[in-house]
Amino acid sequence: MERENHYATVSEAINELRKKGYTTDFNLEENCIVCHPEKFLPEEFELVDVYRYEGNTDPADEATVYAIESKSGLKGVLVTGYGTSTDTMSTAILEKLRTKK
């Protein structure tokens, strides 16, 4: 996975990805990726890029920004906490996404 830039902040990464067409906001729910009202299986997506951010003083500030694209061409951003704030279900879904590449 080649990365052109690593953006300084989560908000900068999201803003730049939106300029590149990643305009849908995705969330994790149960065993799927959600863009209300639609739900998708992780297998329906390709992981395009990943940006990780670590909080300077607070581990709760840690986040990961995923640029993902569905097989149907729907492009968007999925933002998750990581480290101690990531729940087991989210980790399992994200692992499915990671292994797609």
DSSP 42-99: GGGEEEEEEEEE--SS-GGG-EEEEEEEETTS-EEEEEEE-GGG--HHHHHHHHHHHT
Q: SS in 3 state form for 79-92?
A: EEECHHHCCHHHHH
| Statement: residue 88 has pLDDT above 60 | no
Q: Give the percent of the chain with pLDDT over 70.
A: 66
59 preceded by a cis bond (ω within 30 of 0) = no
Q: Give the percent of the chain with pLDDT over 90.
A: 20
Mean pLDDT computed over every residue of the chain: 78
